[in-house]
C-alpha cells in the first residue's frame, strides 16, 4: 500500500472471479491487473458515487500470480497480489 487515503474498496477472489467491492465514493481510480511478468492484462477506470460491486472473470487468463493496482488520479496507488 502506498496511498495515505483510507481504502474505499476490498478485493477478493472466488474461484475464477475477482470481486471488487467499492465501499464508498471513489473518484478517478484506474484499476490495473498485471500478470507475473508485469504485463498489463486488464484495465478500467471508474468513478463510484454509491457502494457497488464489480467482478472480473479470470476464466480467459492462465492460472498464476497477478497484481491488482488501484491508481488514483493524484498519483497515489494501492496494490496487492493474488493467485
Radius of gyration of the chain (CA): 12
Q: What is residue 5's predicted lDDT score, i.e. its pLDDT?
A: 56
Q: Does 4 score more than 70 pLDDT?
A: no
For the segment 34-77, what is each residue's pLDDT rounded down to a tens digit?
999 999 999 999 988 889 999 999 999 998 999 999 998 888 88
Q: How far apart are CA 13 and CA 36, in angstroms?
A: 17
Q: How far apart are CA 37 and CA 48, in angstroms?
A: 30
Amino acid at each position: 500500500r502506498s496511498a495515505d487515503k483510507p481504502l474505499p474498496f476490498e478485493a477478493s477472489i472466488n474461484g475464477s472471479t475477482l470481486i471488487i467491492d467499492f465501499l464508498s465514493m471513489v473518484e478517478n481510480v484506474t484499476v490495473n491487473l498485471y500478470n507475473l511478468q508485469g504485463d498489463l492484462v486488464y484495465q478500467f477506470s471508474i468513478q463510484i458515487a454509491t457502494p457497488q460491486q464489480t467482478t472480473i472473470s479470470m476464466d480467459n487468463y492462465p492460472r498464476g500470480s497477478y497484481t491488482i493496482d488501484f491508481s488514483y488520479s493524484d498519483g497515489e496507488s494501492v496494490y496487492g497480489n493474488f493467485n
